[in-house]
Amino acid sequence: MKTRTLASRRAGAKTRRVPTLTVTDTRRMPDPAAVAATLPRGAAIVFRHYEAPDRESLGVHLAAVCRRRGISFLVAGDWRLAARLGADGLHLPEGLARHGILSPALLWRRRTGGLLTIAAHDRSALAIAGRLKADAALLSPVFPTASHPGAATLGPWRASLWARTAPRPVMALGGMSPHRVRRLAGVAGWAGTGLA
């Protein structure tokens, strides 16, 4: 994929800037390509849709839309699919980052210069993001969220503290809005399913 807007390194920078991310959800976003068509150039989207029986064909269509619109395209949880789709990067769910066999995924990233984001729900996952030199950790859930009703949240104080002390940039996820992100100190940006 030629987009690579997130993958270009600034001169002398140790990390790459990661913009606001839209995260797909099978139930709440059945057609991620339609959502991508509304995103501005330079945006980024993490393609999850783990349960979709037609995940690869959805990904092919979404990758094409992202390429045309200058949107960075990351595939969640499957570096092989990311490679087949020519993705700009890979998003690792926390369990995979913690317990998965990561060598092939990290080799793919090194070879392609792709982005790496990691889901994090606690400080130890933020440390894993640091060890893997992730471009960002998606810390969640910060606020109550429709995707996980009733789940315990971090709240703005804890999320801000963890973001300020994290070894890599932190994106806030979970019940986020432009107003709520302003309540968070130390975050590099925010992510969610309803950002289009």
Question: The tokens 């995260």 sit on which residue?
Answer: 23
**Hey, where are the domains in the chain?**
21-192
| 18: confidence class by pLDDT, cuts 50, 70, 90 | very low
Q: For all residues of the chain together, what is the average pLDDT?
A: 89
| CATH superfamily membership of 21-192 | Aldolase class I (3.20.20.70)
The DSSP bridge pattern shows strands 21-23 and 115-120 to be unpaired
Position 147 scores a pLDDT of 81
Rounded CA-CA distance 69/5 in Å is 11
pLDDT in tens, 96-123: 999 988 999 999 999 999 999 999 999 9
Neighbours of 101 (CB within 10 A): 7
Name 162's bridge partners.
none
Kindly report the pTM of this predicted structure: 0.89
**Mean pLDDT value across residues 169-192:** 93
Coil, helix or strand for 109?
helix
Rounded CA-CA distance 57/96 in Å is 23
Considering just the CA atoms, what is the radius of gyration of the chain in Å?
15
CA 57 from chain centre, in angstroms, equals: 20
**Mean pLDDT value across residues 63-88:** 98
Whole-angstrom CA distances from 121 to 89, 114, 158, 163, 174 are: 21, 23, 11, 12, 11
Express as a percent the part of the chain with pLDDT over 70. 89
Tokens of 181: 């992100």
